Amino acid sequence: GVGVGGGGGGGSLPPLCCYDVHKVYPSGKMAISQVTFAAERGQVFGLLGVNGAGKTSMFRTMTGETVPTSGDALVCGTSIISNMREARTNLGYAPQFDATLPLLTAREHLQLYARLRGATVEDSAWLASDLLRRVGLTKHADKPSHALSGGNRRKLSVGIALVSAPSVVLLDEPSTGMDAGAKRSLWRVLDSERAGRAVVLTTHSMEECEATCQRLTIMVDGACRTIGTLQEVKTWYGTGYTLSFRVSTDDALQSLDAFLRGSLQGIIPVPERGAALTAKYRLPDTTTTRLSDVFTVIEQELAAERSGTGGRIGDGGILEYAISQSTLEDCFLRFAATQEGTQGVDDVV
Ligand SMILES: Nc1ncnc2c1ncn2[C@@H]1O[C@H](COP(=O)(O)OP(=O)(O)O)[C@@H](O)[C@H]1O
Ligand SMILES: [Mg+2]
């Protein structure tokens, strides 16, 4: 029993449910527009967007740093509008910019936050050691914050967000300033810490999202442009499937082309220079064809070729084939390109 539990409540509701959250700053800037999503227990939910998309505003609204213009969010069933005090007891938050105290060590930070949450001295010492181990900071436990690398300070912030064993953990760009190795270790931390709670992570890295998130939304200009599982988002909004073939003869190339155009609606040949007896096709996101259909069509043809019952391409015409899917990166970059005043993902607002 270390930390403040803050009575669960909410029955089978996901730990975090946001309803139609809207935020217009006094300047008139609309930072969040009708954002509705739920973050499920046991999952990492990704809030993806370029700078200025509204990710931090969303977190600041949920933690009570700023009030939503309209809408509400339930944290373990408790409304942030009617009972922010109670809602906050179930929230852990690592802000985008480190709020660590330069002269305190990593261990001291965790002990301090545990004490602030009501833990005894012994419990906070034990909890600090446990958290240091869980976020991978044991080696740096007794260094003052100012002597930690940027990446290790981010890990400390994640540790602080976990102090109260919250049901909802909000991590605002936790991997900022981390090298590839530190990122991978952070991703492992997220994967083990998601058990029993909802982790919401903001990022503008697709790679990070693919590595960590079970579900995600892509935010553009304050609005969620898509919400779904990683696979769903790729299927709905990816640029589609790429099909590559290697065939035995020029004739087979011709028959393959006719066969694919007849079997897979909307397929587009991708011209490739200097590659003899190979062919590439793209199935765009506008097609209704599913990956399983593509496999079925091609596997049936291969089976017909093999059994000698007259495939449409010719016996042994297809030597090999591969289907690859567009990455979420492709999909995100297309969304990002539509944000107002954005030149690219590195644009700083
Ligand atoms: N306190 C504020 N007052 C006015 N505008 C703000 C304020 N905070 C953020 N904004 C604006 O709201 C938009 C969203 O910002 P933010 O939530 O920080 O996005 P992100 O975290 O995705 O980069 C941006 O256009 C930003 O300039
Ligand atoms: Mg931000």
222 CA closest ligand 1 atom index: 14
CA of 136 to the centre of ligand 1 (A): 32
* Domain assignment of residue 10, yes or no: no
Q: Are 301 and 279 within 8 A, CB to CB?
A: no
* Domain assignment of residue 1, yes or no: no
Same domain membership, residue 227 and residue 100: yes
Same domain membership, residue 220 and residue 290: no
- CA terminus-to-terminus distance, the chain: 43
* Domain assignment of residue 321, yes or no: yes
CA nearest ligand 1 atom 3, residue: 25
Mean pLDDT within 302-329: 76
* pLDDT at residue 328, rounded to an integer: 65
CA distance 118 to 132: 19
* Domain assignment of residue 163, yes or no: yes
> Where does the pLDDT of residue 315 fall: very low under 50, low under 70, confident under 90, or very high at 90 and above?
low
Across 172-176, 231-235, 252-256, the highest mean pLDDT is recorded for 172-176
Domain count, the chain: 2
> Where does the pLDDT of residue 322 fall: very low under 50, low under 70, confident under 90, or very high at 90 and above?
confident
Residue 347 has pLDDT above 60, yes or no: no
Residues 6 or more apart whose Cβ sits within 8 Å of residue 230: 209, 210, 213, 214, 215, 216, 328
Same domain membership, residue 136 and residue 75: yes
Please give the residue that has the higher pLDDT: either 221 or 325: 221
The response to whether residue 52 sits with its C-beta less than 6 Å from ligand 1 reads yes
56 CA closest ligand 1 atom index: 21
CA distance 171 to 203: 9
Same domain membership, residue 26 and residue 174: yes
Can you state the angle between helices 230-237 and 328-336, rounded to 10 degrees?
Answer: 60
Mean pLDDT within 89-117: 95
Quick one: which of 217, 240, 237 has its CA closest to 291? 240
* 207-253 pLDDT tens trace: 899 899 999 999 999 999 888 898 777 666 656 778 889 988 888 88
Mean pLDDT within 118-140: 97
> Where does the pLDDT of residue 81 fall: very low under 50, low under 70, confident under 90, or very high at 90 and above?
very high
Can you state the angle between helices 180-193 and 150-162, rounded to 10 degrees?
Answer: 10
Same domain membership, residue 253 and residue 195: no
Name the residue range of residue 168's domain: 16-236+332-336
CA of 104 to the centre of ligand 2 (A): 25
